[in-house]
Amino acid sequence: MTTSIDQIKGFSKQQLVNSLSNEKFQLIIFPTEQCNFRCVYCYEDFKIGKMPRWLVDATKVLIKNKMPKLEFLSLSWFGGEPLLAKEILFEIAEYSQSLAKENGCKVYGDLTTNGFLLDIKTLTRLVELKQNSFQISIDGDKESHDTTRLTRNGKGSFDKIWGRLLAASATDLDFHITLRIHITDLNHESVLSFCERYDKELKEDSRFRLFFKEISNLGGDNQEKINGLISRKSAKVLAKELTERYSGNSKKINELGHYICYAGKPNSLGIRANGNINKCTVALDDDRNNIGKINPDGTLTLNNEKFSTWIKGFTTLDSWQMGCPLSYMNNNSVVGDIAIKKVS
Ligand code: SF4
């Protein structure tokens, strides 16, 4: 049982300490910003391709320079679809693991992937490299998923992804897959029928878990389509109900404390496929998020003012500012130390 002694203002003390520790570091890497999908609500513009050679090398030097002081390095692979550039992912992860042995550091990794390219050979290599935690988005059962999560050539993707999940489950590989189930106001029945399918085929496999999320409007060019999907606000209610139904063995949210977004943590940085340094993985075109760049010699040039705006939540311990610094900033403009709330 967690007591208030373990928490400060609703945040787990351990999480706060980990977020501020110099011995822990999270690198979010975009090995490519191309994607093999064209989801109808996606906010990315696919203007940037794979990381060029100089940038892969610079990222490795950055890791090499940081590693001696680290106890724990977490690599988070993002995109685009990171598995479209799996050779870059393998190279950086392999290099990090070899340095980790020399430096007594632990390296783990996770991928935000659409799952389409996660065949057993790829999964096996990723598990060997301890890049074995995955988040895969599903938009309900086949008929609903295949209307929103389309491949680049306009085809549905459900059957392929579901096949990948069943094949992974048939192995004894050590991995964790979180299926992020997107709920809109239009796909409730389909989400429930996906849950039945999951209960029959994957529920007993403890390497899988479900995470329910109502689709929210994250900006980009598809706002109209998204607004159409969320207008009745009932998606939130179903997401809450299903979260309770499937929370079974997993820790209760209130025991973990309020969520702290990586964008708000001082020891987390994202390297884009063009070498820009970002904090948030959503506002990719937002100048406030473009906090600097990595140089060819692996050093970083950072704009300290922009950087500190993202981590300001640690001075206020405001749950909104810590949970999503982007939406907090969008609703509160700051002049000096005085926060001015926008009224619209
Ligand atoms: S700041 Fe907000 S939008 Fe950006 S990654 Fe964090 S939770 Fe997502």
Point out the ligand 1 atom lying closest to the alpha carbon of residue 261. Answer: 6
Nearest alpha carbon to residue 192 among 180, 181, 208? 181
Q: Which of 317, 213, 272, 313 is nearest to 33 (CA)?
A: 272
Q: How far away, in angstroms, is 66 Cα from ligand 1 center? A: 25
Distance CA 216, CA 203 (A): 27
Q: How far apart are the first and last CA of the chain?
A: 42
- For the chain, residues with pLDDT lower than 50 are 1, 218-220, 249-251, 335-344
User: Which backbone phi and psi does 176 adopt, to 5 degrees?
Assistant: -130, 125
pLDDT score of 44: 81
Q: Residue 293 maps to which CATH number?
A: 3.20.20.70
Predicted local distance difference test score (pLDDT) of residue 224:
58
Ligand 1 centroid from CA 196, angstroms: 31
Question: Domain containing 141: what range?
Answer: 4-341
Q: Whose CA is nearest to atom 3 of ligand 1?
A: 282
Question: CA–CA separation, 139 vs 83, rounded Å?
Answer: 20
Structure tokens at 132: 């074995």
- Looking at ligand 1, which residue's alpha carbon is closest to its atom 4? 280
Task: Transcribe 168-210 into DSSP letters.
Answer: HHTS----EEEEEEEE-TT-HHHHHHHHHHHHHHTTT-TTEEE
Supply the DSSP string of 80-127, one letter for each residue: S-GGGGHHHHHHHHHHHHHHHHHHT-EEEEEEEE-STT--HHHHHHHH
- Distance (angstroms) between ligand 1 centre and the Cα of 280 equals 5
Domain count along the chain: 1
pLDDT given for residue 337 in this prediction: 46
Ligand 1 atom with the smallest distance to the CA of 327 is: 2
What is the pLDDT, as a whole number, of residue 206? Answer: 96
Q: Whose CA is nearest to atom 2 of ligand 1?
A: 324
Quick one: pLDDT at residue 40?
87
Pairing of strands 133-138, 332-335: unpaired
Nearest CA to ligand 1 atom 7: 324
Distance CA 46, CA 49 (A): 7
Ligand 1 neighbours, Cβ below 6 Å, are: 261, 263, 280-282, 324-327
Q: Mutation test of ligand 1: which of 326, 331, 332 has the most ligand atoms closer than 8 Å to its C-beta?
A: 326
Pocket test for ligand 1, best of 215, 259, 261 (most atoms within 8 A of CB): 261
Instruction: Count the residues in the chain.
Output: 344
- What's the confidence (pLDDT) of residue 312? 96
Atom of ligand 1 nearest to the CA of 262: 6
